[in-house]
């Protein structure tokens, strides 16, 4: 366990110091932005929509017990931007992207393609790890921004169709209530989660060994450790960013 933490720390150091140093492979970064960011939009959008809708229903049910059902729009907006937007997007992208990175790099590792990069005077950290980390850190806040909007929209759709809220009032309540820091703190979380996702995918991919089974194990480990780290980091960031 301790050795694993040490290996991960060393890997993180290499990923940051070597992976982000020039030469930069812009084409790789662009490819990864497409794969990590753009192609994650549907799954993140759907997740956010249903989460926002369910959240509206739950808050309404809870709110009626205290005659506070008119707070639905505010609490949905707050819950989505500060907490559920980044966390749900982070977990969905972990499942999609950390797994894909671990499987791809794991296969490259066991077929010696990563060694081959080295012998072609290309540093694997710069060519493989750096672009994935940059792409994930850049695109996660955008994904979460989209998730925020769609999540609030989900709450709005449920609120105005089945809970009987007035459309204009719902929107006004949301926009009046949400503060700039609610959104930015969620986006800061998103950038950190992006780093975790790419790092976990790369770390487990680079350390996979022993053929197909090893690659499978690497993929599982990437998703599990990525999800746990995201939830732990979420708690740490929440207490850092919000406790004033």
Write the DSSP string, the chain. -HHHHHHHHHHHHHHHHTTTSSSP-HHHHHHHIIIIIGGGHHHHHHHHHHHHHHHHHHHHHHHHTTT-GGGHHHHHHHHIIIIIHHHHHHHHHIIIIIHHHHHHHHHHHHTTHHHHHHHTT--HIIIIIHHHHHHHHHHHHHHHHHHHHHHHHHHHHHHHHTS---HHHHHHHHHHH--HHHHHHHHHHHHHHHHHHHHHHHHHHHT--SHHHHHHHHHHHHHHHHHHHHHHHHHHHHHHHH--
Q: Which is nearer to another protein, 71 or 117 (by Cβ)?
A: 117
**In whole angstroms, how close is the CB of 121 to another protein at the nearest point?**
4
**In whole angstroms, how close is the CB of 21 to another protein at the nearest point?**
9
Does position 217 interact with another protein (CB under 8 A)? The reply is: no
**In whole angstroms, how close is the CB of 129 to another protein at the nearest point?**
15
Does position 121 interact with another protein (CB under 8 A)? The reply is: yes
Q: Which is nearer to another protein, 26 or 242 (by Cβ)?
A: 26
Does position 119 interact with another protein (CB under 8 A)? The reply is: yes
State which of residues 111, 161, 162, 167 lies at the interface with another protein (CB under 8 A): 111
Site string for another protein, 15-34 (x = CB under 8 A): ---x----x-x---------
State which of residues 34, 61, 116, 169 lies at the interface with another protein (CB under 8 A): 116
Interacting residues toward another protein by CB under 8 A: 18, 23, 25, 108, 111-113, 115-116, 118-123, 127
């Amino acid at each position: 366990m301790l050795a694993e933490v040490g290996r991960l720390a060393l890997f993180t150091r290499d990923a940051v110091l070597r992976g982000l140093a020039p030469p930069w492979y812009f084409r790789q970064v662009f490819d990864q932005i497409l794969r990590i960011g753009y192609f994650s939009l549907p799954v993140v959008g759907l997740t956010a929509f249903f989460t926002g809708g369910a959240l509206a229903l739950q808050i309404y049910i809870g709110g009626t017990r205290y005659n506070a059902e008119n707070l639905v729009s505010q609490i949905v907006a707050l819950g989505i931007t500060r907490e559920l937007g980044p966390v749900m997007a982070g977990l969905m992208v972990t499942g999609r992207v950390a797994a894909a990175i671990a499987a791809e790099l794991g296969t490259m590792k066991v077929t010696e393609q990563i060694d081959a990069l080295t012998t072609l005077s290309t540093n694997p950290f710069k060519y493989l790890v750096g672009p994935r980390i940059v792409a994930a850190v850049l695109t996660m806040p955008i994904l979460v921004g989209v998730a925020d909007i769609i999540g609030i929209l989900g709450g709005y759709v449920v609120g105005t169709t089945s809970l009987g809220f007035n459309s204009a009032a719902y929107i006004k309540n949301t926009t009046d209530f949400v503060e700039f820091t609610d959104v930015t703190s969620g986006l800061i979380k998103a950038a950190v989660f992006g780093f975790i996702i790419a790092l976990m995918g790369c770390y487990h991919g680079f350390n996979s060994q022993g053929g197909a089974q090893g690659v499978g194990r690497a993929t599982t480990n990437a998703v599990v450790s990525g999800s746990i780290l995201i939830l732990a980091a979420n708690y740490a960031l929440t207490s850092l960013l919000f406790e004033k």
